[in-house]
Every structure is written in C-alpha cells, then in structure tokens.
Amino acid sequence: MTQTNPRNIRIFDTTLRDGEQSPGASMNLGEKLEVAHALAALGVDIMEAGFPIASPGDFEAVREIAATIRGPVICGLARCNDGDIDRAWQALQKAERARIHVFLATSAIHREFKLRMTQDEIIARAVSGVQRALAYCDDVEFSAEDAARTEIDFLCRVVEAAIEAGATTINVPDTVGYTTPEEMFQRVQALLNRVPNIDKAIISCHCHDDLGLAVANSLAAVAAGAGQIECTVNGIGERAGNCSLEEVVMAMRTRQDLYGTHTNIKTERLVPTSRLLSKITGLDVQRNKAVVGRNAFAHEAGIHQDGMLKERRTYEIMRPEDVGFAKTDLVLGKHSGRAALADRARELGFQLNGEQLQLVFDQFKILADKKKQIFDGDIIALIQQQIADASNTAWTLVSYSLDSGTDRVPCIELTLRHGDQTFTQRVQQGDGPIDAAFWAVEKIIGIKTECKEFRVRSATIGRDAMGEVNVEVEHEGQTYRGNGASIDSVEATISAILNAINRIVTEKNLRASGRVSPQDA
Ligand code: KIV
Ligand code: ZN
C-alpha cells in the first residue's frame, strides 16, 4: 500500500486576540508576553497578537510581541479601513514575519443592520482593505465575518474579489457558532469548486462554540480542504469560546488515518501551555475537559483499570505524556536536590532562571518539611506563586496570626513588606477570617477593593495538600484577579489578595506613565 504524505494544516492561534475578548480573560502586557512565548514554544504557525486599534494597551502588546517573539508569523487584526490598517502595521513592523488580518462582515443581517451597506459596497470595501494592507506586507488574510450565515453566491464573489486584490488567506468564520459540520464541509467545498482563483489562497476556518460544535466544524472544514484552523488555548473566547487548540490538534493527530493531516504543534507542550493560560487568566479548565483536563486520563472504573494494566490501548486513545502530562505524579521529597527540582520544573513546562530556581527551591524546602510527599501540582503551585511574587514585587506577606472561632469577631495581625519596609496592623473586624484578611490588607495598603469572586481548591490530594486561592476584586470599576497558593489556606488567601492589589498598583503606575489604557487590566 502506498502512503501519501500528510497534508500540513496551519495552526493560527488567536488566544491573545479573540481569546482575550472572553469575559474576565483580559491580560496585561507582561502576561501577554508570557503567553506569547509559550505559544511560540508550542509551535503555532501564526499568532494573532491583538487588535492594535482597539486600545493603546492592545497596540503596545502587538508591538512588543512583534519585536520580541521569533518563529511564528505575528498577526494583527484590522477592520477594512485605513486607520485600523495603518495602526496594525505600526504595531507589526518589527516582526520577523508579519500578517495583517482584515475583516468585514458579509452576511445579510450584518450588511443590513450593522453596516447598512449593499453587496457591491461590501466588495469594494473588502478590496480596498486588502490592497491597503498589501501595501505594507505581502501576507494578508481576509475574513468574511459571519461567513457561515452569508449567502453562498455572494460569499463566492467576495472571496474571489479579495483574492484578486491580493489576499493569500481567506478565512471563513462561524462568528456566532451557528453552523454544523455538514454545512461547514459543504461551504468550504463550494468555495473550492466555485471560486476560480481559489488556488491562490489558503482557506481558513474560525469557529465559535455556541452550540458546542467548534472543534467538529473545524475538522469538517479541514476534511473539505481548508488548510488553516483558527483556535485558542483551552478554547477561551467570546461567549462560549472558540475552537479549542488542544482538542482540534489531538483529534487530527489521533485520527491521522482519517484526516491525513499534520501540524507543527509540539503536543507535549499542550498541558503546560493550558495551565499557564489558566493561571494567568484565572479561568479554570474543567476537570473533564478533553485532552488537558485533570481527569482526561484518569480511569476510575475497576474494569477500565484492569484493562489498562493488561494493555493501555484498551481504554486509552492518546498517551498522557504525548500531551504533556507527567508520566508519574509522585515526584520529590525532603531529600531531593536543586537539580531534581529544576528537572521536574522543566518537564512541567517551566524554564526557571538561576534566581527563580533558588527562590522556588527555598520554598520547596520549607514545604518539604511540612509535607512528606510533594506532587507535581504542589510544584506547579509553588512555581506560580514565586513567579507572581517576583513579578509583582510591590507588596509581599511577611507573617500573619489569626484568632477566630464560632460566634467571635476574628482578630488578625498582619505584617507586609513593601521594598525595605515592613508594616504591621492588628484588626478585629469582619465576617470571618477571609473578610478580616481583606480588612487588614486594605488598612495597610490603603487601596479599597470589593471581592467579586473567591475560589479555593486543592492543588493535589491529601489533607496536607497545597490550597490554591483565586480572587476577583473590583477597584474603581475595573476587575483584577489574584492567585495565591500555600499549605495554609488563609496564607494563600492573603497572597491572592496581595497579588490582585499588586496588579492594581502596577496598573496605576503604568497609567501614570501614559503607557496603557484602563481596559488593559
Ligand atoms: O468571529 C469572528 O468573526 C472573528 C473575526 C474578526 C475573524 O473573530
Ligand atoms: Zn471570532
């Protein structure tokens, strides 16, 4: 039997643009850069870094990413108008390889109610947008927004005109997550069969998940001949989200027999990248999420476990290590050295520099004194806590003591460090220890916040597991997230509050220096 070479499918990641539009997922500049480095290490072909005209913060992020990230094509989004396109190019010009992505809605409902434009006007605007972008760079993508609900005859006309104008990628977005796999397949096939110059462009799909079909629709587009998939890590994005990168990539890899495709994604980076994004955005990944959820490879039923012991393929279609889960979860103990910790951190997806490793190792030793067995989850929580502390050096916890109980107003004594100084407050106030911690932090720092969300979960198993706390607080109409981790849940809570307050302080400083807009928090 002759085997044909697999067809390469480009992975266009839009975590930093469409993903970042998802409620509660906004990231600051440093966080976007951290995600951008992780996406480059993951091997995405194209990284949509943002929508430069949207805000000064978006512009700055695209510019920084274009100037520093090497490997993937860096893309900036623009509507089909001169101002957007010029701004996109200003942000992108330092990229090793740049792409301008212009979009314009094409469906009847958008034409009539949003744009108030005729079909001919839409075509003229699309053509002039592509041509203006092309004057800056030769990699231009055109998106027919709401393509999935656009009359097919008109869609074919717009696509032909955009290619004629010079677009080299044509994106077919299912903007509202309305289409089905059968329909998507037919739509891509129709474009391939009916647009005379379609061989001059790559067809891309961009599916939203409102009906839970984004991955299935993207696979259908690929089966019909699309050569690019637009997706996000953990499937984050507007409303129900976008096509999930890890799911669509692993579906193509696991069923290569069916799709005959290949991607450049280093799949063993999927779990670390998913965790990093979840940590930064505070958006948890559900336990049973395909590919990267904590339970994705856990076998509970006895009959499954028995089958797995005899031959893992009885119940396992992918190997956990292929997507970046560690082979074993039980790792280090009291006697483990720095090299072992560095090794483990690397396997978990963290490249620590000498200083970071020392900080994490110091905390690791303290934890190892309290806890016999240290699991991967503990190490991840420790590293992330140290990175958060180091990147937000404004306020850190020195110590606390708490007196609390049933029917008693809690009393907390808290000491914080800021630069070389320490500050102590004793506060007897609040509806329980968490509320008391908020009061004490506010009294010392002088920044008032309202707690909107508070979540605690264990990083690993056992009564001595590290507790991870996520808080969401509001300050002057903006929402800020904070994370903390410790074996002591009150300490983790204080760290999470400080992490959020340090973001507020950083944001205030940046705003004072005129670099970003308030939306960037
Ligand atoms: O969903 C959508 O239509 C988009 C476009 C801008 C590509 O995000
Ligand atoms: Zn979208």
DSSP code string of 233-288: GGG--STT-B-BHHHHHHHHHHTHHHH-EE----GGGHHHHHHHHHHHH--PPPTT
Residue 410 CA to ligand 1 center (angstroms) comes to 50
Nearest CA to ligand 1 atom 5: 145
177 lines ligand 1 (CB under 6 A): no
d(CA 112, CA 426): 62
Q: Which residue, among 192, 279, 274, 188, has the nearest Cα to 233 in the 3D structure?
A: 274
Residue whose CB lies within 8 A of the most ligand 1 atoms, among 18, 80, 146, for a mutation test? 18
Identify the residue whose tokens are 């336990």.
287
At residue 281, φ and ψ (nearest 5 deg) are -85, -20
pLDDT of res. 521: 29
Work out which ligand 1 atom sits closest to the CA atom of 208.
Answer: 1
76 lines ligand 1 (CB under 6 A): no
Domain extents in the chain: 8-281, 326-389, 392-520
- Contacts by residues 301-307 (CB-CB < 8 Å, ≥ 24 positions apart): none
Identify the residue whose tokens are 């900036």.
76
pTM of the model: 0.79
pLDDT of res. 458: 78
Chain centre distance of CA 204: 21
d(CA 251, CA 230): 15
110 lines ligand 1 (CB under 6 A): no
Name the 3-class secondary structure at 24.
coil
Class of domain 8-281: alpha beta
50 lines ligand 1 (CB under 6 A): no
Q: Average pLDDT across each block of 10 residues of the chain; the chain has 521 residues. List them in order.
A: 82 97 84 95 98 95 98 98 98 98 98 97 98 98 98 98 98 98 98 98 98 98 98 96 98 98 97 91 89 82 67 85 74 77 77 84 86 75 71 79 90 90 91 91 91 82 78 82 83 89 72 40 29
175 lines ligand 1 (CB under 6 A): yes
At residue 90, φ and ψ (nearest 5 deg) are -55, -40
CA-CA-CA-CA dihedral for 161, 164, 169, 171, to nearest 10: 10
Contact, 91 vs 76, CB < 8 A?
yes
d(CA 269, CA 261): 19
Nearest CA to ligand 1 atom 2: 175
206 lines ligand 1 (CB under 6 A): yes
Contact, 152 vs 187, CB < 8 A?
yes
145 lines ligand 1 (CB under 6 A): yes
Residue 170 CA to ligand 1 center (angstroms) comes to 12
Work out which ligand 1 atom sits closest to the CA atom of 230.
Answer: 7
Q: How many CA atoms lie within 13 A of 461 on its CB side?
A: 3
481 lines ligand 1 (CB under 6 A): no
Nearest ligand for residue 51 CA: 1
Residue 463 CA to ligand 2 center (angstroms) comes to 43
Amino acid code (one letter) for 340: A
Percent of residues in the chain assigned helix, strand, coil, to nearest 5: 45, 20, 30
Residue whose CB lies within 8 A of the most ligand 1 atoms, among 103, 149, 178, 243, for a mutation test? 103
Tokens at 489, concatenated = 């849940």
Residue 173 CA to ligand 1 center (angstroms) comes to 6
Nearest CA to ligand 1 atom 1: 175
Tokens at 357, concatenated = 């490793």
Give ∠ CA 93-94-97 in degrees, rounded to 5. Answer: 80
173 lines ligand 1 (CB under 6 A): yes
Residue whose CB lies within 8 A of the most ligand 1 atoms, among 175, 176, 178, 228, for a mutation test? 175
430 lines ligand 1 (CB under 6 A): no
Give ∠ CA 174-142-20 in degrees, rounded to 5. Answer: 60
Convert 26-88 into a string of H (helix), E (strand) and C (coil): CCCHHHHHHHHHHHHHHCCCEEEEECHHHCHHHHHHHHHHHHHCCCCEEEEEEECCHHHHHHH
141 lines ligand 1 (CB under 6 A): no
Right CATH for 392-520 from 3.40.50.920, 3.30.1360.30, 3.10.20.30, 3.30.160.270: 3.30.160.270
